[in-house]
């Protein structure tokens, strides 16, 4: 469904996520919005971006209108650099070859930790979720971009379970736990773009998305927000970004 701005929340998420990437990076991306964001960045600004899939494809190239339904789909392999086994791709993470991983989850907290395991008491959870897959590997070994819909039930003070670690309890606790690389770099939502301060490693608002107020953002967040000293307003999607995104996903499989 299109918003009054002329683009959907999913389109906004995809475009803002794409803007967080830089040319020359190696990006671990799953299907859906992460793949669209990485492909959009590759076509518009980052021709040297390398996309990795958990299924083993390195240097995936996505054709417009032929989005793969999973990271094991053979459409991912067209014009790819190579195809490896899943274990070998995860070993690239351990060896430090991956710069950024796209992540999502049912919950994210103020320190960028993600929960995709369960909601509620671990002994008797209210909801069981898919679990980690390769999420813990990515979060432990690379910088993360988290892209998700902004809802109070999702943005919580403390996640019910740390499936994928961000900055754990803040400060130096991530490094002290033995995770020497990576950490949550950005959180992108349909309401705002967040970073993390250098000392407490706590989430802070970098820019509000068009038409969003501080009050609306806080009302949809389950912890007290910190705002960057020079708070900005996110630049809305350009016609070029929207045109290419809709070319990549003409049937709105992921951006409808």
Q: Residue 236 phi/psi, 5° resolution? A: -65, 160
Residue given tokens 């803007």 in the structure block: 19
Q: Which of 108, 110, 65 is nearest to 205 (CA)?
A: 110
Annotated catalytic residue, options 11, 54, 200, 241: 54
- Record the tokens describing residue 48, joined without a space: 């040297």
Q: Which of 190, 240, 233, 187 is nearest to 208 (CA)?
A: 233
Measured at the CA of 23, the angle between CA 20 and CA 28, to 5 degrees, comes to 65
Q: How far apart are CA 36 and CA 15, in angstroms?
A: 9
Within 8 A by CB and 6+ apart from 188, the residues are 13, 16, 17, 20, 145, 146, 147, 148, 194
Q: How far apart are CA 14 and CA 248, in angstroms?
A: 12
Q: Which of 21, 10, 6 is nearest to 190 (CA)?
A: 10
- Record the tokens describing residue 220, joined without a space: 């949809």
Q: Considering only the C-alpha atoms of the chain, give the largest distance between any 2 of them, rounded to a whole number of Å.
A: 50
Q: Is 54 a catalytic residue?
A: yes
Report, as residue numbers or ranges, the catalytic residues: 54
């Amino acid at each position: 469904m299109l918003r009054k701005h002329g683009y959907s929340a999913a389109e906004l998420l995809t475009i803002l996520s794409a803007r967080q990437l830089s040319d020359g990076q190696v990006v671990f991306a799953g299907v859906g919005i992460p793949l669209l964001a990485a492909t959009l960045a590759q076509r518009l600004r980052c021709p040297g971006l390398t996309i990795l899939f958990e299924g083993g494809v390195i240097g995936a190239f996505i054709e417009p209108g032929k989005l793969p339904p999973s990271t094991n789909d053979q459409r991912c392999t067209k014009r790819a650099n190579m195809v490896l086994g899943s274990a070998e791709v995860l070993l690239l993470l351990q060896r430090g070859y991956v710069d950024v991983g796209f992540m999502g989850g049912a919950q994210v907290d103020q320190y960028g930790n993600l929960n995709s395991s369960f909601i509620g008491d671990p002994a008797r959870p209210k909801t069981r979720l898919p679990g980690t897959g390769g999420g813990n590997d990515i979060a432990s070994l690379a910088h993360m971009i988290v892209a998700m819909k902004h809802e109070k039930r999702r943005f919580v003070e403390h996640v019910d379970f740390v499936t994928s670690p961000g900055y754990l309890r803040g400060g130096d606790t991530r490094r002290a736990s033995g995770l020497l690389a990576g950490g949550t770099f950005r959180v992108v939502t349909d309401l705002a773009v967040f970073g993390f301060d250098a000392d407490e490693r706590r989430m802070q608002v970098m820019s509000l998305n068009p038409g969003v107020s501080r009050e609306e953002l806080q009302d949809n967040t389950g912890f007290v927000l910190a705002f960057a000293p020079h708070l900005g307003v996110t630049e809305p999607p350009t016609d070029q970004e929207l045109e290419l995104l809709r070319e990549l996903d003409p049937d709105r499989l992921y951006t409808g």
